[in-house]
Amino acid sequence: MIKRNILIAAAFFSFSLGMAQQYGGMWIPTELNEKEMKDLGMKISAKDIFSTTKPSIKDAVVQFNGGCTAEIISPKGLLLTNHHCGYGQIQYHSTVQNDLLSNGFWAKNMSGELPNPGVTVDFIVDIKEVTAQALNGTANLAEPELSKKISANIEAYKAAQKTEPYQSVMVRSMYYGNKYYAYVTETYKDVRLVGAPPQSIGKFGSDTDNWVWPRHTGDFSMFRIYAGKDNKPAEYSKDNIPYTPKHFLPVSIKDKNENDFTFVFGFPGRTTEYLPAIAVQKIMTDTDPARIAVRDVALKTLDEKMRTDDATRIKYASKYASVANYWKKWIGEVEGLKKSNAVQKKQKYEASLIAKNPEIKTTIDGLNKLYNDQAPFALTNAYYSEVVRNAETLTLANLYSGFVTAYEAGKTDEKSTTAFKNRLSAFYKDYSAELDAKVTAKLLALYANKVSSQYLPAGFEKYKNETQNLQMIEELSKNSVITGRSEVNGASLSSTEIDKAFSNPEKLVKAIKKDDIYQLFTAMKEAYIKNADAQFTSIQSQIDILQKKYMAQQMSTDKDRKFFPDANSTLRVTYGKVKGSTPKDAVSYDYQTHLAGVMEKYIPGDYEFDVPQKLIELYDKKDFGAYKDKTGDVPVGFTATNHTTGGNSGSPALDAQGNLIGLNFDRQWEGTMSDINYDPRFSRNIMVDTKYILFIVDKFADSKWLINEMKVVK
Ligand code: ARG
Ligand code: GLU
């Protein structure tokens, strides 16, 4: 009996830690591991998830504005995505008098919904493998002819497809160019804002809690897709009608339990799971730490000012959040790679492949050599790109340098100049030359100290001291055209001043080229391009050729493994179980957070941890309606073992029946190395609980009319 139990336990263990859980996986929806999903608890079939002959779940999942994911949750085209995905639109409708970011927004009915020019959602109508067509006639070709022929094949394939006028066809390479897939997409262009909670719910915890579990963010917002009278895509018109979807997701408010089956359906952006050990090692020891170091300096300098000056905080809030987002992710990634012994694991894997197929040794040796050769250039590339991105004086100089080059080549016209001017005024709007001088002074010093002298312009050693740099920048800025303190352009560049400056482009280009700050930047850029970037890129193209070969060899040699292609912003399914985690010795996390935790984190008036009065009242009165769980409290967030990445924000998390149970918005810090090395011990995705979403819509926002549209599963 005991023995039998052990056997059952072992079988269960290997089920729940089967392939999908060992390796994670972001599967193309036409190639699902239906059996494995069913073994893990799924009750529906692969055809219910993706079908071109009947309505399926894929008809309710869209790419939101080219980046995030969103899903349809009512027969009237009601769309759910993250607050941080709809942030730009919420901000677009906000004014100082009517600050929707701070106060939230809830349309009272459909006529109160707000249009968002330019926002689109894309449906995937069909997916086909087209490897044979893409690689036709390429067997004996080498680069660069190979790439040319493939592009021509793809163009020919696309041209031969018969699609509706509102559809398009795109072809994407998978497995580093070993396979190709075609997607038919349909784009809707009238997407209106329906509702968003205040930031103190939708962005609760902000940067401090970002990537962190336990989490208490109500990171959601709602939109609606509108269509022409025929339900087909149409440009915005007030006469458009709410879109009737082929399928919409029922919303479950059932209690969750640990080990419940779940899957996530969305558009993950980019992963690199099949790199050789050497590449992972370089990321871990070289490029991630370099990027982190640059951002450390920038963030610290900005934070000091933002904490003491409200105007600066508002100007820099969004930039700060975006710089901090990947900074924090990389820190977690490096720790996770170390802790999961990613490099040793990959080395062992390589040895096991070589044992089966000795030819692979040549590939691995080649990759080792190339990555080692590339290392100094790759490190310089990491420093250069991060310094230019974060030292805004240099970012500006880089922008101007693009303009100068185009102007001198006779390639500027009215349209491109207007676009450039708009870009500049958007930049200057949220820019403080005074604060950035401090950041730039420090980052120039970092660049001079960290980057080896052969990649620097002659005489760059003089920038090793940040105090002297600051004096220098402040001095030069007094007369700089580009940092906006010039006598030519006045103290700050408003759009009128920009117009004035550009009214005589010839004079402007002359002034820019004479500008000392501009010259400092162009010297830096030229030295980098000539001595590092050229080598970096040419070695990278050799790496790409070998990586394609290594990918093919992994797939043909490792017969036991089920391969999935790295994320590339195409539609994927990942699955797993609702699960807590034990990221550190003696530390274990529950899979679910509750409203009580929001109240524990509450700091009155704080810009990250304030809580709206009404939410406090609902909590005090325990006015939870149907949305509390077995604990008597409202569940807020939960974690699972789904393998997700950036772009999965806003993706639906579904249960065994295909009902919506959560809204994906983040990952747990300790597991962010899953982009390179998924590890079921640490990798968890973080979702907002549907109970919390409906609780906020119903009880907090008094928007029952939206709940009434949905199919709520109790
Ligand atoms: N970490 C999440 C993602 O990668 C959320 C980012 C937005 N939130 C923030 N606090 N910056 O996109
Ligand atoms: N927040 C991410 C996004 O915007 C999702 C988190 C992740 O990287 O997994 O897509």
From the candidates 219, 515, 655, 689, which is the catalytic residue? 219
The answer to whether 676 and 271 have CB atoms below 8 angstroms apart is yes
Spatial CA neighbour of 350 closest among 338, 334, 339, 361: 361
Residue 166 CA to residue 224 CA, distance in Å, equals 19
Pick the atom of ligand 1 nearest to 649's CA.
12
Domain shared by 464 and 442, yes or no: yes
For atom 2 of ligand 1, the residue with the nearest CA is: 666
Pick the atom of ligand 2 nearest to 644's CA.
9
Determine whether 594 is an active site residue.
Answer: no
Nearest-10 crossing angle of helices 516-528, 505-514: 70
* Residues 6 or more apart whose Cβ sits within 8 Å of residue 667: 211, 644, 645, 674, 683, 684, 685, 686
Domain shared by 490 and 581, yes or no: no
Amino acid residing at 694: L
**Distance from the CA of 382 to the center of ligand 2, in angstroms?**
22
**Distance from the CA of 207 to the center of ligand 1, in angstroms?**
8
Calculate the alpha carbon distances from 171 to 126, 174, 205, 507 in Å: 12, 10, 39, 45
The answer to whether 57 and 658 have CB atoms below 8 angstroms apart is yes
**Distance from the CA of 156 to the center of ligand 2, in angstroms?**
35
Domain shared by 448 and 540, yes or no: yes
**Distance from the CA of 325 to the center of ligand 1, in angstroms?**
6
**Distance from the CA of 406 to the center of ligand 2, in angstroms?**
36
Domain shared by 141 and 290, yes or no: no
Domain shared by 92 and 128, yes or no: no
Which residues face 171 on adjacent strands? 182
Domain shared by 370 and 423, yes or no: yes
Question: How does 463-491 read in b/e, with b if 16+ C-beta sit within 10 Å?
Answer: bebbeebbebbbebbebbbbbbbbeebee
Cβ burial of 502 (10 Å; 0-12, 13-18, 19+) is middle
Residue 579 CA to residue 655 CA, distance in Å, equals 14
- Which of 547, 576, 607 is the endpoint of a domain? 547
Pick the atom of ligand 1 nearest to 206's CA.
10
Domain shared by 344 and 384, yes or no: yes
CATH of the domain at 633: 2.40.10.120
For atom 12 of ligand 1, the residue with the nearest CA is: 646
Q: Please check whether residue 224 lies inside any domain of the structure.
A: yes
**Distance from the CA of 299 to the center of ligand 2, in angstroms?**
20
**pTM of the entire predicted model:** 0.92
Residue 15 CA to residue 19 CA, distance in Å, equals 8
Residue span of the structural domain in which 240 resides: 11-120+189-272+566-713
Ligand nearest to the CA of 84: 1
Pick the atom of ligand 2 nearest to 68's CA.
10
Q: Please check whether residue 5 lies inside any domain of the structure.
A: no
Determine whether 649 is an active site residue.
Answer: yes
From the candidates 51, 74, 83, 84, which is the catalytic residue? 84
Pick the atom of ligand 1 nearest to 210's CA.
10
In this structure, the number of other CB atoms found within 10 A of the CB of residue 347 comes to 17
Domain shared by 408 and 500, yes or no: yes
Ligand 1 interacting residues, C-beta cut-off 6 A:
84, 206-207, 210-211, 321, 325, 646, 649, 666
Residue in 325, 328, 685 to alter for ligand 1 test, most ligand atoms within 8 A of Cβ: 325
For atom 3 of ligand 1, the residue with the nearest CA is: 666
**Residue 310 has which token pair?**
């409200």
Domain shared by 233 and 134, yes or no: no
Q: Please check whether residue 4 lies inside any domain of the structure.
A: no
Helix (H, G, I), strand (E, B) or coil at 609: coil
**Domain tally, the chain:** 3
Cβ burial of 129 (10 Å; 0-12, 13-18, 19+) is middle
Q: Residue 141 gets which letter from DSSP?
A: -
Residue 697 CA to residue 692 CA, distance in Å, equals 9
- Which of 188, 205, 240 is the endpoint of a domain? 188
Predicted confidence at residue 16, as pLDDT, reads: 41
Output the DSSP codes for 155-167.
Answer: HHHHHH----TTE
Q: Token match 């700060």: residue?
A: 320
Residue 215 CA to residue 210 CA, distance in Å, equals 8
How high is the mean pLDDT in each 10-residue block of the chain (714 residues)?
40 42 84 92 97 97 96 98 95 87 96 96 98 96 95 98 95 98 98 98 96 98 98 97 98 97 97 97 98 98 89 84 95 94 97 98 98 98 98 95 95 92 87 92 98 96 96 88 60 74 91 94 97 97 97 96 95 97 92 98 94 98 97 98 97 98 96 91 94 98 98 97
**Distance from the CA of 198 to the center of ligand 2, in angstroms?**
21
Q: Please check whether residue 487 lies inside any domain of the structure.
A: yes
Predicted confidence at residue 41, as pLDDT, reads: 94
Residue in 649, 669, 683, 687 to alter for ligand 2 test, most ligand atoms within 8 A of Cβ: 649
Question: How does 327-336 read in b/e, with b if 16+ C-beta sit within 10 Å?
Answer: bbbbbbbbbb
Determine whether 452 is an active site residue.
Answer: no
**Residue 94 has which token pair?**
């906000």
Domain shared by 342 and 382, yes or no: yes
- Which of 503, 518, 547 is the endpoint of a domain? 547
From the candidates 51, 480, 486, 649, which is the catalytic residue? 649
